[in-house]
Structure 1
């Protein structure tokens, strides 16, 4: 999928889609995988991730909404991923079977390594 086509899919969406679009326009890498996956199985997997992130206090964007959308969509979806250029966020994209419509989008903040401490010897 061309970057411009992906930008069109993300425009005019919710806050999470807008954040993914901003990351993409700022040089994020992306991939749209071939093949489809059952939306029911993805709703189960991402429901577990939602509970995990809530327990651990991990910042997410649109995860609960993505789980709800996948739960009711009822058709196979294609997966995509956008990784922010600075590594701060990863967005998962759930597209319809032909990749022409965005079904849901979620993002998770990535843990940043602690900066090295100065040697105090």
Structure 2
């Protein structure tokens, strides 16, 4: 997958898609992980992450929408990707269909201020 392909796939699935696309266009790298994960497992994981972020006051983008999308994709196997911008405030997690041809959701989480680059 090329950078242009990914930028084109990042439409308006969640509010994090625009900032994720901007990070890519600014030269940040992305990874798509090997293997498939059941959407139901990701739903439970990211529902907990959302609660933890809320409890700690950690800013998020599109995490609520992503949890809903993962819940709706219950029976599907998904592929995960990430954009971990160096020197930037946000980390983005991307959720693709099994063939990594469609971005289903994108969530952004503010990096902790004490985290090293």
TM-score (norm 2): 0.90
Match of 2:87 in 1: 86
Q: Is 1:58 aligned to 2:79, yes or no?
A: no
Which segments of 5 or more consecutive residues in structure 2 lack a partner in the other structure?
A: none
Distance 1:99-1:15 versus aligned 2 partners, 3 A rule: same
Superposed CA RMSD: 1.5
Higher mean displacement: 69-78 or 105-114: 105-114
1-structure distance, mates of 2:69, 2:10: 16
C-alpha contact 1:27 1:85 (8 A) present in aligned 2: no
Q: Do the aligned partners of residues 64 and 12 (structure 1) sit closer, same or farther apart at CA in structure 2, a change above 3 Å counting?
A: closer
Q: Which residue of 2 aligns with 1:118?
A: none
Structure 1's 54 and 12: CA in aligned 2 closer, same or farther, altered over 3 A?
Answer: closer
- How far apart, in 1, do the equivalents of 2:21 and 2:39 lie? 23
SS for the counterpart of 2:100 is: coil
Establish whether residue 108 from structure 1 lines up as the match of residue 109 from structure 2: yes
> Which protein is bigger by CA-based radius of gyration?
1
Q: Which runs of 4+ in 1 moved over 6 A?
A: none
